[in-house]
Structure 1
Amino acid sequence: MDNNRLAALVLILTAFLGCAGLAEARDSSLCAQKDPTGLAAGAKPEPCPEAKGEPATASAAQPVLRHDAAATTPVIAGPITHARHFVYRLLRPEAPSTETIVLLHGSGGDEASLFKLALRVAPDATLLGVRGRIVQKGIKRWYARITPTEFDQADIRKEAKAFVDFLKSRMAAEKLDLEHTVFIGYSNGANLIAAVSLLYPGLIERAVLLRAMPVLTKAPETDLRRVRFLTVSGEKDRIYAPFAPVLEALLRNRGATVDARQVAAGHLLGDEDVKVVSDWLSAADMMAGDTKQ
């Protein structure tokens, strides 16, 4: 009788865990499915680009509204590798708008991790998802980390320059306009966007920084008066939320327009983030239209 009960309990737990993993299993790479998101009517992924020394397909089962897998790890140590090239995915609708969204994942994510979020906030935009070149203790990142809030300064600058060079080349090759581009980054990726804005002024004009913090110990005195930022912190994000006001003040002190929001969440992204970003993009588009008139 006890054995029967134990077997029944195992079956129940197995079924529960299978259901819990279903959301991740549905979100596999663009190379694996014709429409991995199920959200982009008419959107077609372009052929998966080969990058020398890198696999042609993204890793499977990467959730889009995801937790930064390494955010709460006390210390990341161990081997660090730098890929030679950036891996990316381009998703271009059949009838695209003039807008492009460049997507930078969080720690442990990849080039496809933010596609679902982007498709919900801007379904007609062309999407360019890029993967960071760093792998640190098996975790994909944008630059080397010492602790959750301390970072390798030389590596940040090295990877920022490499990303800028890649971006300019890729945007030109795809005939995409940087003046009609929004950057959306999550956690580690958002931090790189902020760093690039400070190190290479004039490149980024609109950016969404989700769960971000300042990572440059000596930020240059850059003129950011033409740049608009949306920052979204999580009220329950114990590690990064306390740094959000510091980043916002840093960007404002350089002249940027910063719309700072906080959602009732932790480091995990969710539906409230989608709404905040969608509303901000719509308002930004309206303001851009008024300016042109």
Structure 2
Amino acid sequence: MSKSAYIHKVAPGLPGGPLLFTFHGTGGDESQFLGLARELLPTATIVSPRGNVSEHGAARFFRRTGEGVYDMDDLARATDRMSGFVRAHVEAAKPSSVLGLGYSNGANILASVVFADPGLFDATVLMHPLIPFEPQVNGDLAGRRVLITAGRRDPICPPNLTARLAAHLQGRGADAKVEWHEGGHEIRENEIEAARRFFAFAPAPGETA
């Protein structure tokens, strides 16, 4: 897959440093999390694709037929395309670590790539993911770190599904943790602080993850 498989932005960081991919929510774009990503990890090179599916004009990464009802064939298509896009950038950059951050629909496509290609990302932050199906992980996630952030009153992503996702990832060997807040689908400051701490492990150029 080509590095240009998606419209995207690249914000350069230190050569050989971490490579951080960001994935926007429904209706967002490739600029949505560039500023936050730079704040969280100042040395990283940031790659931010725009979803290539339109839902009434709102950009998404894969189709759905209703809230929480996914077009699974299109999710498989999108997962394969995104995995190839990420891998092309990784092969070109040769980074010290490969990291991902996604929100809502962006968290869902990021999670799906992790299930399909467990060795691709060293660490991922999934903000308010909704995985309404039993994940099929293609291998194991030993040594991979996952931070899930969620609202206990999120009307879109029920807390029981968040807990189920975390347990599933842990069962496949991932170091998976959940950061909760008492609100809904919005991103709150404690999530951002948790992500900052989570990414603080990212090695400098010349080190290994």
Task: Identify the TM-score tier after normalising by the shorter chain.
Answer: 0.7 to 0.9
Q: Which residue does the alignment assign to 1:222?
A: 139
* Aligned pair partner of 2:6 in 72, 86, 106: 86
Q: Which residue does the alignment assign to 1:198?
A: 115
Q: Which residue does the alignment assign to 1:112?
A: 31
Rounded to whole Å, the distance in 1 between the matches of 2:135 and 2:15 is 40
Rounded to whole Å, the distance in 1 between the matches of 2:15 and 2:119 is 25
Q: Which residue does the alignment assign to 1:211?
A: 128
Moved over 6 A (4+): none
Q: Which residue does the alignment assign to 1:163?
A: 82
Q: Which residue does the alignment assign to 2:162?
A: 244
State the percentage of identical aligned residues: 26
| Equivalent residue runs for 1:61-76 within 5 Å | none
1:235 to partner: Cα distance = 2.6
* Aligned pair partner of 1:98 in 11, 17, 22: 17
SS in 2 for 1:233: strand
Q: Which has the higher contact order (CA 8 A, sep 6+)?
A: 2
Quickly say closer, same or farther: Cα 1:253–1:187, change in 2 above 3 A. Answer: same
Q: Which runs of 5+ in 2 are unaligned?
A: none
1:260 to partner: Cα distance = 1.2
Q: Does 1:256 align with 2:174?
A: yes
1:127 to partner: Cα distance = 0.8
1:153 to partner: Cα distance = 0.8
1:168 to partner: Cα distance = 1.9
Q: Which residue does the alignment assign to 1:8?
A: none
Aligned residue pairs, count: 203
SS in 2 for 1:275: helix
SS in 2 for 1:111: coil
**Contact 1:191 / 1:215 at 8 angstroms: preserved in 2?**
no
Quickly say closer, same or farther: Cα 1:241–1:276, change in 2 above 3 A. Answer: farther
What is the Cα-based RMSD across aligned positions, in Å?
A: 2.4
SS in 2 for 1:185: strand
**Contact 1:87 / 1:131 at 8 angstroms: preserved in 2?**
yes
1:96 to partner: Cα distance = 5.7
- AA aligned to 1:270 is R
Instruction: State the Cα deviation string for residues 16-44 of structure 1 (Å, max 9, x = none).
Output: xxxxxxxxxxxxxxxxxxxxxxxxxxxxx
Instruction: State the Cα deviation string for residues 71-107 of structure 1 (Å, max 9, x = none).
Output: xxxxxxxxxxxxxx411100014x5671111001111
Rounded to whole Å, the distance in 2 between the matches of 1:142 and 1:91 is 21
1:145 to partner: Cα distance = 0.9
**Contact 1:106 / 1:189 at 8 angstroms: preserved in 2?**
yes
| Equivalent residue runs for 1:125-204 within 5 Å | 125-173=44-92, 175-177=93-95, 180-204=97-121
1:249 to partner: Cα distance = 1.3
Rounded to whole Å, the distance in 2 between the matches of 1:125 and 1:218 is 29
**Contact 1:92 / 1:126 at 8 angstroms: preserved in 2?**
yes
SS in 2 for 1:190: helix
SS in 2 for 1:198: helix
Quickly say closer, same or farther: Cα 1:200–1:109, change in 2 above 3 A. Answer: same
Q: Which runs of 5+ in 1 are unaligned?
A: 1-50, 52-84
- AA aligned to 2:25 is G
Per the normalisation by structure 2, the TM-score is: 0.87
Q: Does 1:274 align with 2:192?
A: yes
- AA aligned to 1:142 is F
SS in 2 for 1:116: helix
1:203 to partner: Cα distance = 1.1
